[in-house]
């Protein structure tokens, strides 16, 4: 959902018929607080802290923004004093109309993975992080902000948690991320085990199975650094989604290339350790003993482009990124 510039709402997904084809929706992202090392929600703009993530959140989009009857999945306008509004309430309404649909909260992402390493560092900090995430997103105990939220306000919105730590043990994540190259791999494994343990304990009380998934890297270096292909972690995960996109992009402004190629391109002029493909990534997992049934492949619903390109031949030279397309009112693109 892009409730600001894109103006995209879940009611559009419902009315287009697209929701009929979905089994899971990941809502991105949840953040980890730099001081408490817990899951939290706040209204604080991106741009604070060493890498722009410390204390950042968007409670307004999550559960504060009121929807009109025309924009709502249910066709009923939000009341000014209801505890749950925003995207969370729209997810809850969408699930009511599509009972087989599951929603997961994705924690981290490229921008908000900074504090994973610190939160996973000890048994006590792992227990604290996991408990806070379950309390906030699964039990739905939201902070009260501008009259919205409260105990149990978001109960039933999320069916599980998606771990999007980019990347344990690797310096290839966002600038400013905390990285412990010696210990992240094992601490990541223990963190997933703790999530599984606490989710199952709650499920024993409620009679539900809570999902645990992860966003899996495609770069073999990142896979090895974080132990993502360790079969043990798939004892804790229901499944993982392999990043099959952003394999190449305009962050390398000097050459064009594929951003989501299925197989290696023999014409690829990048160094051998930068020649990524979906096939190569999936083999890193399957060859390590991961059951293919637990793997999904992420594909992008968007493209990447360059400017200053003199040839249509892939991997030819470029001078920079292509300008972003102007969104047309008659069409909405989501990813």
Best CATH choice for the domain 10-243 from the list 3.40.50.720, 3.30.428.10, 3.20.20.80, 3.40.50.150: 3.20.20.80
State CA 2 to chain mean position distance: 14
Question: Which residue from 280, 272, 189 is spatially nearest to 242, judged by alpha carbons?
Answer: 280
Pairing assessment for the beta strands 306-307 and 211-216 based on DSSP bridges:
unpaired
Tell me, what's the pLDDT at 2?
A: 80
For 296, counting Cβ atoms within 10 Å of its Cβ (0-12 exposed, 13-18 middle, 19+ buried), the class is middle
Tell me, what's the pLDDT at 326?
A: 58
Cis check for the bond before 58: say yes or no (omega within 30 of 0).
no
Tell me, what's the pLDDT at 140?
A: 98
Give the separation between CA 272 and CA 108, rounded to whole angstroms.
29
Give the separation between CA 186 and CA 188, rounded to whole angstroms.
5
Q: Indicate the domain borders of the chain.
A: 10-243
Give the separation between CA 228 and CA 209, rounded to whole angstroms.
23
Q: DSSP letter string over 249-267?
A: -TTSTTB---SS-SS--TT
166 is an active site residue: yes
Per-residue pLDDT of the chain (335 residues; tens, 9 = 90+): 588 888 999 999 999 999 999 999 999 999 999 999 999 999 988 776 666 788 999 999 999 999 999 999 999 999 999 999 999 999 999 999 999 999 999 999 999 999 999 999 999 999 999 999 999 999 999 999 999 999 999 999 999 999 999 999 999 999 999 999 999 999 999 999 999 999 999 999 999 999 999 999 999 999 999 999 999 999 999 999 999 999 999 998 889 999 999 999 999 999 999 999 999 999 999 999 999 999 999 999 888 999 999 898 889 999 999 987 654 433 332 32
Cβ neighbours for 300, distance < 8 A, ≥ 6 positions apart: 244, 245, 246, 259, 260, 335
Catalytic residue among 38, 166, 194, 232: 166
Element (H, E) at 10: helix 10-15
Element (H, E) at 321: strand 320-321
Q: DSSP letter string over 294-306?
A: GEEEE--SS---E
The answer to whether the beta carbons of residues 161 and 210 sit under 8 Å apart is yes
Q: Report how many helices (DSSP H) and strands (DSSP E) the chain contains, helices first.
A: 9, 13
């Amino acid at each position: 959902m892009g409730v600001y510039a894109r103006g995209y709402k879940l009611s559009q997904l419902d009315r287009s018929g697209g929701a009929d084809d979905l089994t899971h929706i990941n809502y991105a992202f949840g953040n980890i607080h730099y001081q408490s090392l817990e899951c939290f929600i706040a209204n604080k703009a991106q741009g604070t802290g060493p890498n722009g993530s410390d204390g950042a959140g968007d409670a307004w989009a999550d559960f504060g923004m009121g929807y009109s009857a025309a924009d709502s999945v249910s066709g009923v306008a939000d009341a000014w004093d209801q505890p749950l509004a925003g995207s969370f309430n729209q997810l809850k309404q969408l699930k009511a109309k599509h009972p087989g649909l599951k929603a997961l909260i994705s924690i981290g992402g490229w921008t908000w993975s900074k504090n994973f390493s610190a939160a996973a560092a000890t048994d006590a900090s792992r227990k604290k992080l996991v408990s806070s995430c379950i309390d906030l997103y699964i039990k739905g105990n939201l902070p009260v902000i501008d009259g919205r939220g409260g105990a149990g306000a978001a109960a039933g919105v999320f069916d599980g948690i998606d771990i999007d730590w980019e990347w344990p043990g690797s310096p290839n994540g966002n600038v400013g991320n905390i990285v412990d190259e010696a210990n992240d791999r094992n601490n990541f494994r223990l963190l997933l085990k703790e999530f599984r343990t606490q989710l199952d304990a709650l499920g024993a009380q409620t009679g539900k199975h809570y999902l645990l998934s992860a966003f899996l890297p495609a770069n073999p270096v990142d896979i090895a650094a974080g132990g993502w292909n360790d079969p043990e972690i798939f004892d804790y995960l229901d499944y993982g989604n392999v990043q099959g996109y952003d394999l190449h992009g305009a962050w390398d402004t000097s050459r064009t290339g594929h951003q989501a190629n299925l197989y290696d391109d023999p014409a690829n002029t990048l160094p051998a350790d930068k020649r990524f493909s979906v096939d190569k990534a999936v083999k890193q997992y399957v060859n390590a003993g991961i059951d293919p049934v637990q793997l999904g492949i992420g594909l992008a619903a968007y493209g990447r482009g360059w400017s200053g390109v003199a040839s249509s031949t892939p991997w030819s030279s470029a001078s920079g990124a292509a300008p972003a397309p102007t969104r047309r009112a008659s069409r909405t693109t989501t990813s």
